[in-house]
Amino acid sequence: MNILLLGYGKMGQLIGQLSESRGHSIAGKINIENRKDLDVLDPATIDVAIEFSQPEAAVENIKWAIERGIPILSGTTGWLNQKPEIEQLTLMNNGAFFYASNYSIGVNIFFKVNEFLAKQMNETTGYKSSVEEIHHTAKKDAPSGTAITLAEGIIKNITGLSNWNLSEEANEIEHSLPITSKRIDPAPGTHIIRYSSEIDDIEITHTAHSRQGFALGAILVAEWIQGKKGVLSMDDFLSF
């Protein structure tokens, strides 16, 4: 499989290394300094594009691939207000676009556990829910895409919550789920779901020990997406 890497920071580099160890080839390594190199690439030689760049570059990177018939998966967060536009472009071009806020298999299992717990907590009273996420200081967006996905899973299943709020005062905002974002090196990613009451606290936590789980998950999706069409997600890949 010939893979184009759109974004060649720490994640892109790790994806490249792991891809080659699995017998794949790298068709190109594109970042902000060499984006003009896209003009000389032959789309017919590219089997899939993996996009882990920056929020300000993600949309153009994804459009470039979709318009050239290249299946693309993206893990960049912070641009999702434009995701409906990308989904429409995918359908218009009969392309394949896959988005996940987190490609770790463990995290995606954690998403399911989070929703299950939220359903159970909706049947009781006296608990306040919250989300906390901790990442390295190089992460620009806050809250993380993973934290937003977790928050959406809680809001969907708990009566009375209608939105999330990133602020110290969020606990005081009616119908709002508070998200706390911390930036501490070298944390690759920790997410904590907490239900607190006067009697006790209930917590579930996912702690990533390295970026390897994220990178490997992206490669597994890239292998899986071959021959598929449409707007796809981790639910399609994992078939829960």
pLDDT score for 167: 72
- Note the pLDDT of residue 67: 97
**Same domain, residue pair 62 and 109:** no
**In the chain, % of residues over pLDDT 70:** 98
We report the CATH number of the domain holding residue 218 as 3.40.50.720
Q: Which domain holds residue 6?
A: 2-103+212-238
Question: Across residues 200-229, what is the average pLDDT?
Answer: 95
pLDDT, one tens digit per residue, over 82-133 is: 999 999 999 999 999 999 989 999 999 999 999 999 999 999 999 999 999 9
- pLDDT attached to residue 145: 87
Based on the domain organization, do 109 and 201 belong to the same domain? yes
Report the CATH number at residue 115. 3.30.360.10
- Averaged pLDDT for residues 163-186: 84
- Same domain flag for 203 and 109: yes
Residue 202 sits in the same domain as residue 116? yes
**pLDDT exceeds 70 at position 184:** yes
Q: How confident is the model at residue 211 (pLDDT cuts 50, 70, 90)?
A: confident
Question: Do 123 and 94 belong together in one domain?
Answer: no
Record the tokens describing residue 214, joined without a space: 């994220």
Identity of the residue numbered 238: L
Does residue 115 sit in the same domain as residue 91? Answer: no
CA-based diameter of the chain, in Å?
64
Peptide bond before residue 143 is cis, with ω within 30 degrees of 0: yes
Q: What is the pLDDT of the chain when averaged over all its residues?
A: 94
Q: Are residues 115 and 68 in the same domain?
A: no
| 184 and 228 belong to one structural domain | no
> Looking at residue 172, what is its pLDDT?
66
Query: Which whole number is the average pLDDT over 153-171?
Result: 86
222 within 8 A of 3, measured Cβ to Cβ: yes
Catalytic residue chosen out of the listed positions 29, 119, 139, 229: 139
Q: 139 an active-site residue?
A: yes
The whole-number pLDDT of residue 171 equals 56
Q: Is residue 18 domain-shared with residue 35, that is, in the same domain? A: yes
Mean pLDDT of 57-79: 96
Q: Are residues 99 and 217 in the same domain?
A: yes
Instruction: Give residue 140's pLDDT.
Output: 76
Amino acid, single-letter form, for residue 79: W
pTM above 0.85, yes or no: no
What's the domain count of the chain?
Answer: 2
Same structural domain for residues 109 and 194? yes
Catalytic annotation, pick one of 24, 135, 191, 206? 135
pLDDT band with cut points at 50, 70 and 90 for residue 239: confident
Q: Do 96 and 7 share a structural domain?
A: yes
Give pLDDT, residue 42.
96
pLDDT value of position 133: 96
Average pLDDT over residues 42-61: 96
- Is residue 135 part of the annotated active site? The answer reads yes
Q: What percent of the chain has pLDDT over 90?
A: 85
Q: Answer yes or no: are the C-beta atoms of 21 and 58 closer than 8 Å.
A: no
154-173 burial by CB neighbour count: b if 16+ within 10 A, else e?
A: bbebbeebeebbbeeebeee
